[in-house]
Amino acid sequence: MEFNKKYDRWTDDEVQALLSIFAEDEIQRELETAIRNEYLKISSRLCELGIVHTGKQCREKLKKLKQDYKKLKDHNNRSGSDRCTNKWFDHLDALLGHRPAFSGAAVTKDSAIALLETILESEDQSVEDEMIGPNDLLATETSVFSPAITSSPRPMSPAETHTRRGKRKRDCDFLDALRDMDDANRAALQLGQEQRDKYMQLLLESQAEEREMRRQELAFLQSEAEESRRQQRDFQDGFLSVLGQFAQSFKK
């Protein structure tokens, strides 16, 4: 829960990256052909750019952007000259403006695809959150096609079971990728700390060696000075002795 809250906020740069990926022809083709869990693929692409958002968060953000765009588009179609816009309107208009679901045209294949996409998004959300059971999902699907009719839960087909397992596997793969990134970051931090510790150790050893060299140099200088003083005293004593002997011989 804390993970979702932490990465639920979107910056403008992140939204720009999201829309750029969403606008790619391959992504649009796969969304239009109702390929499941395409939002996890978008999430993975964002992760490669250093942007961390789950597939659910990508789906919800795009859904909100499309809802806001449709409100503005409907207003502009009705008002004529009194047009409204927002920072993402032009991006979405270039991508979605030709679609009947957003242009106000009659219902066609594109609008049917939009309805199917909404249904699949609801199914994806139940799998990603693992909070909505099969019975609730079936009830949701039933309410979309016949709101006034209720039906009893039906057993899941092998194909649906395989699809759900595939979704969970991709979810796990995405989480594993995030964990691998976290482990790599931790390893890099650990390596950096070890290198800093090694540098500090070398610096301390170098300073200790320098202090020892200075101590030895000072001891040598002190020894040299002491030896010089001793030689000077010996010279003075010898000179005075010779001078005394000379004085004694002179008196005689």
- Model confidence over 131-182: pLDDT tens digits? 434 444 333 333 333 343 344 445 556 666 666 667 677 777 888 888 888 8
In a domain, 243, yes or no: no
**Alpha-carbon torsion 42, 171, 5, 114, what sign?**
positive
Q: Rounded to an integer, what distance in angstroms lies between the CA atom of residue 29 and that of residue 168?
A: 23
Domain range for residue 25?
Answer: 2-154
- Which residues have C-beta within 8 Å of that of residue 164, sequence separation ≥ 6? 127, 156
In a domain, 240, yes or no: no
In a domain, 238, yes or no: no
Q: How many domains does the chain have?
A: 1
The DSSP code for 35 is -
pLDDT score of 18:
94
In a domain, 224, yes or no: no
Q: State the average pLDDT for the chain.
A: 76
Cα 83 from chain centre: 38
Question: pLDDT > 70: what percent of the chain?
Answer: 68
Is 80 exceeded by the pLDDT of residue 130? no
In a domain, 63, yes or no: yes
The interaxial angle of helices 89-96 and 55-79, nearest 10 deg, is 90
In a domain, 150, yes or no: yes
Compute the average pLDDT of residues 14-26. Answer: 93
In a domain, 211, yes or no: no
In a domain, 102, yes or no: yes
Q: Which residue has the higher pLDDT, 103 or 2?
A: 103
Q: Which range has the worst mean pLDDT, 30-34, 165-169, 234-238?
A: 165-169
Taking the model in full, what pTM does it have? 0.42
Q: Rounded to an integer, what distance in angstroms lies between the CA atom of residue 109 and that of residue 178?
A: 38
Q: Which pair of tokens denotes residue 32?
A: 């239009």
Following DSSP, what letter does each residue of 170-212 receive, concatenated? HHHHHHHHHHHHHHHHHHHHHHHHHHHHHHHHHHHHHHHHHHH
- The number of beta carbons lying within 10 Å of the beta carbon of residue 66 is 19
pLDDT in tens, 77-107: 887 777 888 999 988 988 887 776 666 554 4
